[in-house]
Amino acid sequence: MFAAIAAVAAVAIPASTYGQGRVVSAAARDSVTAIADSLRAAGLPADPVLAKMAEGELKGADDQRILRAVRSLAHELRAAREALTESASPGTIVAAASAVHVGVRIDDVRALARRHLVRDADLAGALITLADLVANGVPAADAVQAIGSLVAQGVSERDLDGLRAGVAQDVRGGQPPGLALRTRARALSPRAVAPLDDR
């Protein structure tokens, strides 16, 4: 199993040793702290930017790269906050930020949060699935439409995760991402994916 994983890793994922971990400069840390403070003051979760800095340190990234990642994340958290309802939990805000990061439109996040009366916990799961699908190459519009439809129909978290894992597997096997999604989503629900000429 490890050999198989290593083979996949060698193709798709560059190995990285953590021995090159470093500590950011005091100035960079102050900048990140200031960003975290401003997020906190805005009622947004601040821990994600601190975690992003720690991640960058472990992976040996330089100060500039870490600061860019932190600023980008802060911007996405603010955008996500605007798109979600007031009752959105910190986890859902972070999940929405990840969807925004990969290119899901704010309006689509807003629609997903509001139109389907979805529970906060289910919304977070849907947003993570959405972000993963788009990160795997599924066109954002297709992913939004499919996930929105599945959530509205009350598809379980387990089925959504199965869909996500299945699409990822199909893409690794060479299938076009959009086709992989359509196939898997239709298997869950024939209504999940609109016919091409309706979009």
* Interface residue list for another protein (CB under 8 A): 1-3, 5, 8-9, 13-19, 21, 26, 29-30, 33, 47-48, 50-52, 54-61, 65-66, 68-69, 72-73, 76, 89-92, 94-95, 97-99, 101-102, 121, 124-125, 128-129, 131-132, 135-136, 157, 161, 164-165
Provide, rounded to whole angstroms, the least separation between the CB of residue 169 and another protein. 10
Would you call 8 exposed, middle or buried from its count of C-beta atoms within 10 A (0-12, 13-18, 19+)? Answer: exposed
Of residues 158 and 199, the one with the C-beta less far from another protein: 158
Of residues 5 and 42, the one with the C-beta less far from another protein: 5
Look at residue 7 and give its three-state secondary structure.
helix
Of residues 59 and 110, the one with the C-beta less far from another protein: 59
Of residues 165 and 190, the one with the C-beta less far from another protein: 165
Provide, rounded to whole angstroms, the least separation between the CB of residue 67 and another protein. 11
Provide, rounded to whole angstroms, the least separation between the CB of residue 92 and another protein. 8
Q: CB neighbours of 177 closer than 8 A, spacing ≥ 6?
A: 133, 136, 137, 138, 139, 167, 171
Provide, rounded to whole angstroms, the least separation between the CB of residue 127 and another protein. 9
Structure tokens, 50:
């601190």
Of residues 33 and 175, the one with the C-beta less far from another protein: 33
| Inter-residue contact 93 to 40 (CB < 8 Å) | no
Provide, rounded to whole angstroms, the least separation between the CB of residue 111 and another protein. 20
Of residues 138 and 198, the one with the C-beta less far from another protein: 138
Would you call 180 exposed, middle or buried from its count of C-beta atoms within 10 A (0-12, 13-18, 19+)? Answer: buried
Provide, rounded to whole angstroms, the least separation between the CB of residue 2 and another protein. 4
Structure tokens, 80:
């996500």
Longest dimension (CA), the chain: 56
- CA atoms within a 13 Å half-sphere pointing along the CA-CB vector of 161: 6
